[in-house]
Amino acid sequence: MHFLDQAKIFIRSGAGGPGAVSFRREKFIEYGGPDGGNGGKGGDIIFEAVQGLNTLIDFRYTQHFRAPRGKGGSGSNRTGPGGDDLVIRVPVGTQLISDEDRETVLADFVEPGQQQVFLRGGDGGRGNASYKTSTNRAPRQHGPGWPGDEMWVWLRLKLLADAGLVGLPNAGKSTFINGVSNAKAKVGDYPFTTTRPQLGVVSHRDREFVVADIPGLIEGAADGAGIGDRFLGHIERCRVLLHLVDATGDDPIEAYRIVREELIAYGNGLEDKPEVLALNKIDAIDAKTKTKLLKALKKESGVEPFLLSGATGEGLPAVLDALVEAIGPAGPSPESVQTSEADEETPWSPL
């Protein structure tokens, strides 16, 4: 399954049906009179958040959504049938963004089953029976029906997870999420093996929570360097961040500093989220280097880092304990998360 977290779509609610022009022609009823019914209401555009989806890829191939219009009225004061509502199903965590500025949030779907009538269908036109007055006994005018609304909107998906993984490329995030959850993230000895967000469900000490892994950040990501910061939106809803620092890197302290600066540059509250800091890949360094890096990282961050090896599992229980404590008692239901294998090709491109 390909991953897509942004899509632009066109939506149009149904127009109302026209009112009818009709006159009674019934036996034994003298004079008759107008009896044209009203037109039916057009269908609404309704968005619904559903479980089991974690991509907007379907909207890459279907971009236009039009609700049917109402039917016309008929004689004997019969109102025309209304157009069926068009329900557009989106993943939980989807936001509807204005096409004008691509910033204004028009709707936010954060719970499974959440529905919202986004565009209301037009009302049906009046039949000629409704125009009858004491001075206009045989009206022939009727209403054509009100038009529906239409607009372009952007869909933006922000995955729901309890904990988010951040770090430079090749910091060991994919190895970590594979080791603690049911995810199957791609692992390689080169940067940017993760090209799209990954979700995994972690079971630890009779507790389940969801972890999100996003592509690694590099210096200047907030300005578009590398993959940029476009995937940081997927951890905006996380309760805690797990910051992994590669102990085998050229300068682990600078690596920590770069990621923190990119989180601050991105904003949206990421820099203020609780953070669990871990020095990863400690199985690949000697004890002296480990002690030196631990002391320097503690001085730079102001917190006590955890020692971790995602490959061997060393230090995993302590890190998971810290995440559970930071997450607290409530979180998204793991049943609503659908994990999928990484795609071989670059998973997104501008629409």
Q: Binding site: residue ranges?
A: 167-174, 194, 213-216, 280-283, 309-311
* Pairing state between β 6-12 and 64-66: parallel
CA distances from 215 to 105, 164, 212, 303, 341 (A): 25, 11, 10, 25, 14
Q: What is the DSSP letter of 123?
A: P
Closest CA to 195 of 347, 48, 50: 347
Query: How many other CB atoms are found less than 10 A from the CB of residue 312?
Result: 13
C-alpha neighbours within 13 Å on the C-beta side of residue 301: 29
Phi, psi of 301, rounded to the nearest 5 degrees: -90, -25
Closest CA to 5 of 151, 250, 149, 199: 199
| Token pair belonging to 34 | 């107008």
Query: Which residues are part of a known binding site for GTP?
Result: 167-174, 213-216, 280-283, 309-311
Closest CA to 122 of 11, 15, 12: 15
Buried b vs exposed e over 275-308: b needs ≥16 C-beta within 10 Å?
A: bbbbbbbbbebeeeebeebbeebeebbeeebbbb
Cβ(129)–Cβ(77) under 8 Å?
A: yes
| Token pair belonging to 83 | 């157009």
Query: Which residues are part of a known binding site for Mg(2+)?
Result: 174, 194
Tokens 């963004």, residue?
Answer: 97
Sign of the torsion formed by the C-alpha atoms of 252, 258, 261 and 267: negative
| Token pair belonging to 154 | 């952007």
Report the Cα 146 to chain-centroid distance in Å.
33
Cβ(152)–Cβ(80) under 8 Å?
A: no
